[in-house]
Structures are given as structure tokens and as C-alpha cells.
Amino acid sequence: MLKQALFMIGCCSQALFSLEPIEPAKFDALHALVQPTPEESTWRVIPWGTQLWDARIEAARLGKPIYLWEMDGNPLGCT
């Protein structure tokens, strides 16, 4: 297992250091290629709330469940 892990680290590090810079003429095409499609971005149009009590009141009013996404730590650091 250790040999496999070291082999993978060696392969990945060699690939990282052997990358050539992206030519400015190709950057826009590559940038567009990695952007999410409109179908993959539909979650952005949902009016997400940040107040649990307000969500509870609205859910009761509409007769719908609450989708609660909770995590510990800084959401930008994912600690």
C-alpha cells in the first residue's frame, strides 16, 4: 500500500512540475470549457435562506419540509 501511495505521489508531482504555461490565446477557450453549464447552475436561482426560524415559519405556511445544510467550521475553509 505504501509503495502504491509513493508511486502515485511521484507520478502526480512530476506531472505538476512538467506542465507548460497556458498560452493567452488558448486561455478563454479553456476557461469556457471548465465553467458549469446553465443546467449545472440551477441551484443558484433558489432563494436560499440563512435564518432557520424564518425557514421554519415559511415551511409551516407552505406545508413543505426544510432542507437544512449544516456543517461545522468556516464554510470557506471546510474545517
Task: Name the residue ranges covered by the structural domains of the chain.
Answer: 2-62
**What integer pLDDT is reported at residue 46 of this predicted model?**
85
Beta-carbon count within 10 A of 59 CB: 14
Confidence class for position 2, pLDDT limits 50, 70, 90: low
Reported pTM: 0.42
73 φ/ψ sector (left φ>0, alpha ψ -120 to 50, else beta): left
- Which tens digit of pLDDT belongs to each residue from 20-56? 888 888 899 999 999 999 999 898 888 888 899 999 9
Q: How is residue 42 annotated by DSSP?
A: G
